[in-house]
Amino acid sequence: LVDRAVTQIVTPGTVVDDELLSPGSTNYVACVASADSTDSDESDDSAHHAVAAVDVSTGECLVTSAADPERALEELQRVAPAEIVVGPNARVDPAALDGDAMRTEFDPDVFASSAARSTLKKYVPRPDAVVGNDAELRAVGALLAYAEYTQGDETLDYVSRIQRYDPRDGLRLDATALRSLELFESQGPSNGPTLFDVLDDTACALGRRRLQQWLRRPLVDRERIDARLDAVDELTSRSLVREDLHDHLRDVYDVERLVARVSRGRANARDLRSLKATLDVVPDVKDALEDADCDRLLSLRDSLDELDDVRDLIGRAIASDPPMEITEGGVIEEGFDAELDDLRATEREGRQWVADLESSERERTGIDSLSVGHNQVHGYYIEVTNANLDSVPDDYTRRQTLKNSERFYTPELKRREDEIFGASERADALEYELFREVRGDVGEESERIQSVADALATIDVLTTLASVAVENDYTRPELGADGIAIDGGRHPVVERQQDSFVPNPTDLTESRLALVTGPNMSGKSTYMRQVALIVVLAQVGSFVPANAARLPVVDRVFTRVGASDDIAGGQSTFMREMSELTTILHHATENSLVLLDEVGRGTSTTDGLAIARATTEFLHDEVGATTLFATHYHELTAVADDLPGVQNLHFTVERGDRSDDESNTPNGDADSDVTFLHRVAEGASSSSYGVEVARMAGVPSSVVARSEELVADSQSGDESGANSATA
Amino acid sequence: LVDRAVTQIVTPGTVVDDELLSPGSTNYVACVASADSTDSDESDDSAHHAVAAVDVSTGECLVTSAADPERALEELQRVAPAEIVVGPNARVDPAALDGDAMRTEFDPDVFASSAARSTLKKYVPRPDAVVGNDAELRAVGALLAYAEYTQGDETLDYVSRIQRYDPRDGLRLDATALRSLELFESQGPSNGPTLFDVLDDTACALGRRRLQQWLRRPLVDRERIDARLDAVDELTSRSLVREDLHDHLRDVYDVERLVARVSRGRANARDLRSLKATLDVVPDVKDALEDADCDRLLSLRDSLDELDDVRDLIGRAIASDPPMEITEGGVIEEGFDAELDDLRATEREGRQWVADLESSERERTGIDSLSVGHNQVHGYYIEVTNANLDSVPDDYTRRQTLKNSERFYTPELKRREDEIFGASERADALEYELFREVRGDVGEESERIQSVADALATIDVLTTLASVAVENDYTRPELGADGIAIDGGRHPVVERQQDSFVPNPTDLTESRLALVTGPNMSGKSTYMRQVALIVVLAQVGSFVPANAARLPVVDRVFTRVGASDDIAGGQSTFMREMSELTTILHHATENSLVLLDEVGRGTSTTDGLAIARATTEFLHDEVGATTLFATHYHELTAVADDLPGVQNLHFTVERGDRSDDESNTPNGDADSDVTFLHRVAEGASSSSYGVEVARMAGVPSSVVARSEELVADSQSGDESGANSATA
At residue A42, the pLDDT reads 47
Residues A688, B566: C-beta atoms closer than 8 Å: no
What residues in A contact B533, CB-CB < 8 Å? none
Domain stop point among B169, B191, B223: B169
In angstroms, the CA B127 to CA B144 distance is 13
Question: Biggest alpha carbon distance in chain B?
Answer: 126
Element (H, E) at B52: strand B49-55
Q: Compute the distance between CA of residue B238 and CA of residue B373 in angstroms, rounded to an integer.
A: 64
Whose CA is closest to A275, among A438, A116, A513, A67? A438
B281 and B212, same structural domain?
yes
Number of residues in chain B:
727
Closest C-alpha to A570, from B172, B526, B362? B526
CA of A583 vs chain B CAs: smallest distance (Å): 8
Cα Rg, chain B, nearest whole Å: 35
Residues A620 and A585 in one domain: yes
Among residues B480, B115, B450, the alpha carbon closest in space to that of B254 is found at: B450
Q: Mutate which of A618, A665, A707, A719 to disrupt the B interface (most B C-beta within 10 Å)?
A: A707
> Could you tell me if residue A285 is inside a domain?
yes
Which residue, B123, B142, B169, sits at the end of a domain? B169
Considering only CA atoms, which of A657, A720, A655, A662 is closest in space to residue A688? A655
Q: Closest chain A residue to B716 measured between Cα atoms?
A: A724
Measured distance CA(A714)–CA(A708) in Å, rounded = 10
Enter the DSSP assignment of A563.
Answer: P
Distance CA B71, CA A648 (A): 47
Within 13 Å, how many C-alpha atoms sit on residue B305's CB side? 15
Q: Are B520 and B461 members of one domain?
A: no
Sheet (strand A626-630) strand order? A172-173, A556-560, A592-597, A626-630, A513-517, A646-655, A674-682
pLDDT score at B377 = 64
Entry field: residues in chain A: 727
Q: Check residue B375 and give its pLDDT.
A: 74
Measured between beta carbons, which residues in chain B are less than 8 angstroms from residue A565? 562-565
- Tell me the CATH number at A217: 1.10.1420.10
Would you say the ipTM is above 0.85? no
Give residues with Cβ within 8 angstroms of A91, minimum separation 6: A34, A48, A49, A69
Q: Is residue A650 part of a domain?
A: yes
| CB contact at 8 A, A566 and B189 | yes
Residue A228 has a pLDDT of 97
DSSP A548: E
Nearest to B720 among A691, A706, A717 (CB): A717
Find chain A residues with C-beta within 8 A of B605's C-beta: 605, 609, 632-635
Burial letters for A713-725: b for 16+ Cβ neighbours within 10 Å, e otherwise? bbbebbeebbebb
Structural contact between residues A29 and A84, judged by C-beta atoms closer than 8 angstroms? yes
Q: With contacts defined as CB-CB under 8 Å, which chain B residues touch A581?
A: 694, 697, 699
Bridge partners of residue B504, in order along the sequence: B489
Of B493, B520, B623, which to mutate for an interface test with A (greatest number of A Cβ within 10 Å)?
B520
Using a CB-CB cut-off of 8 Å, the residues of chain B touching A604 are 517, 519, 632-634, 685, 688-690
Cβ of B568 within 8 Å of Cβ of A614? The answer is: no
Q: In sequence order, what are the beta bridge partners of A508? A: A484
Q: Which of B377, B604, B440 is nearest to A636 (CA)?
A: B604
Q: In chain A, whose CA is at the least distance from the CA of B699? A: A582
**How many contacts does A have with B, using Cβ atoms within 8 A?**
301
Q: Do B187 and A567 touch (CB under 8 A)?
A: yes
Geometric angle at alpha carbon A510, from A504 and A511, rounded to 5°? 75
Q: What is the pLDDT at residue A665? A: 39
Q: Domain holding B627: CATH number? A: 3.40.50.300
* B154 plus B297 within the same structural domain: no
The DSSP letter of residue B619 is: I
Question: What CATH code is carried by the domain that includes residue A84?
Answer: 3.30.420.110
In this complex, do A700 and B562 lie within 8 Å of one another by their Cβ atoms?
no
pLDDT at B68: 85
Q: Which of A84, A13, A83 is nearest to A50 (CA)?
A: A84
Domain that holds residue A613: 478-660+676-687
Interface touch A610/B720, C-beta < 8 Å: no
Instruction: Say which of B693, B703, B725 has its CB closest to residue A614.
Output: B703
Q: What's the longest Cα–Cα distance across chain A?
A: 127
* Cα B10 to Cα B331: distance, rounded to the nearest angstrom: 28
Could A606 and B634 be called an inter-chain contact, meaning their C-beta atoms sit closer than 8 Å? yes
A194 to chain B, closest Cα gap in Å: 10
* A632 lies in some domain: yes
Q: Do B569 and A494 touch (CB under 8 A)?
A: yes
Kindly report the nearest CA distance between residue A85 and chain B, in angstroms: 26
The backbone torsions φ and ψ at residue A267, rounded to the nearest 5 degrees and listed phi first, read -80, 145
Q: What are the beta bridge partners of residue B166? A: none
Of B526, B562, B690, the CB nearest to A603: B690
Residue A150 within a domain? yes
> Are the beta carbons of A578 and B693 separated by less than 8 Å?
yes
d(CA B608, CA B599): 7
Residues A271 and A411 both lie in one domain: no
Report CB contact under 8 Å: B566, A721: no
Q: Are B572 and B460 found together in one domain?
A: no
Residue of A nearest to B563 (CA): A565
Residue A260 in 3-state DSSP? helix
pLDDT under 70: residue ranges of chain B: 1-8, 18-20, 36-47, 98, 188-191, 376-378, 562-573, 655-674, 686-688, 717-727
Single residue among A472, A507, A538 that ends a domain in this structure = A472
Asked if the Cβ–Cβ distance from A700 to B586 is below 8 Å, we say yes
Contact residues for A534 (Cβ-Cβ < 8 A; gap 6+) = A477, A486, A489, A492, A544, A545, A546, A549, A551
Sheet bearing B592-597, strands edge to edge: B172-173, B556-560, B592-597, B626-630, B513-517, B646-655, B674-682
Distance of CA A156 to the CA centre of its chain: 23
- A408 falls within a domain: yes
What DSSP assignment string belongs to B364-407? HH--TT-EEEEETTTEEEEEEEGGGGGG--TT-EEEEE-SSEEE
Distance between CA atoms of B266 and A413, rounded to whole angstroms? Answer: 64
Task: Flag if A698 and B635 touch (Cβ within 8 Å).
Answer: no
Alpha-helix runs per DSSP H in B445-501: 446-472, 494-497
β-strands B102-104, B83-86: how paired? parallel
Asked if B434 and B340 count as a contact pair (C-beta separation under 8 A), the reply is yes
How many folded domains does chain B comprise?
4
Neighbouring residues of B638: CB distance < 8 A, sequence distance ≥ 6: B722, B725, B726
Residue A374 Cα, gap to closest chain B Cα (Å): 26
Q: Say yes or no: A33 and A155 in one domain.
A: yes
Q: Kindly state whether residues B269 and B366 are assigned to the same domain.
A: no
A315, part of any domain: no
Round to whole Å and give the CA distance between A543 and A474: 5
Q: What is the distance in angstroms between the Cα of A80 and the nearest Cα belonging to chain B?
A: 22
For residue A601, the chain B residues in CB contact (below 8 A) are: 601, 632
Q: Are A531 and A628 contained in the same domain? A: yes
C-alpha to C-alpha distances, A279 to A162, A254, A262, nearest whole angstrom: 24, 11, 15
Interface contact flag, B706 A192, Cβ < 8 Å:
no
Residue B258 shares a structural domain with residue B391: no
Measured distance CA(A58)–CA(A81) in Å, rounded: 14
Residues A461 and A486 in one domain: no
Residue B92 within a domain: yes
CA distance B506 to chain A (A): 19
Segments of chain A with pLDDT less than 70: 1-8, 18-20, 36-47, 98, 188-191, 376-378, 562-573, 655-674, 686-688, 717-727
pLDDT value at position B565?
A: 41
Nearest to A167 by CA among A45, A37, A51: A51
Query: With an 8 Å Cβ cutoff, are A714 and B703 in contact?
Result: no
Amino acid at position B358, single letter: E
Question: Which residues of A are less than 8 Å from B615 in CB distance?
Answer: 703
Residue A127 and residue A225 share a domain: no
* A325 within a domain of the structure (yes/no): no
Interface test with B, best of A561, A579, A606, A651 (most B CBs within 10 A): A606
